Copies of this chain bind each other. A is one copy, B any other.
Amino acid sequence: MPSVDPARNLLAIGQLSERSGVSVSALRFYEQHGLIVAERTAGNQRRYRRDVLRRVAFIRTSQRVGITLAAIREALNALPESRTPTRADWVRISAGWRSELDARIAALEHLRSELDGCIGCGCLSLTNCELQNAGDRLGAGGDGAVLWDAAAAPRIPDAASARAR
């Protein structure tokens, strides 16, 4: 195991991996996608500043809440000088994650009530059923709360337009 630069306390990728519990390949992947940064040694090896550990923690925690890497990256980039989130940053951002979570829970509950109304009904007749025809969606809650918004674009790129193209 390589020893740590005594002056600046930089971490090699294996060390960061071990301390964060995130695989080496995932760390490289995060860098590729602009979520973390690394300095390089003369020999082109990555060296991480210690605050990257916090950054990785932030990323994993946000992921556990179901936030996509793209959204996490945006949240990080929105910070002044793209700094690693402070505790205050975390409080603010995680409150936003909480709203996302609320929205997703609400969407599932709405869906459940639809399903309940549908369990005994003529659903499979393919007409007159909310579950069949509603415009709301479940999909990996992309950007924002576009939940049961019937006015949104149709989620099934339907046969007619498919053929038209």
A residues neighboring B (CB under 8 Å): 14, 17-25, 53-54, 57-58, 60-61, 64-66, 85, 87, 90-91, 94-95, 97-98, 101-102, 104-105, 108-109, 111-112, 115-116, 118-120, 122-126, 129, 131-132, 134, 137-138, 156-160, 162-163
Q: Which residue of B lies closest to A119 (CB)?
A: B94
Query: Main SS of the interface on chain A?
Result: helix
Contact B118–A61 (Cβ < 8 Å): yes
Copies in the complex: 2
Q: With A and B bound together, what is the CA distance between A49 and B104 in angstroms?
A: 38
Q: With A and B bound together, what is the CA distance between A20 and B54 in angstroms?
A: 49
Q: Which residue of B lies closest to A20 (CB)?
A: B126
Q: Which residue of B lies closest to A122 (CB)?
A: B87
Chain B residues within an 8 Å CB radius of A131: 61, 64-65
Chain B residues within an 8 Å CB radius of A105: 105, 108-109, 112
The smallest beta-carbon distance between A11 and chain B, in angstroms, is 12
Chain B residues within an 8 Å CB radius of A108: 66, 101, 104-105, 108
The smallest beta-carbon distance between A123 and chain B, in angstroms, is 6
Contact B97–A115 (Cβ < 8 Å): yes
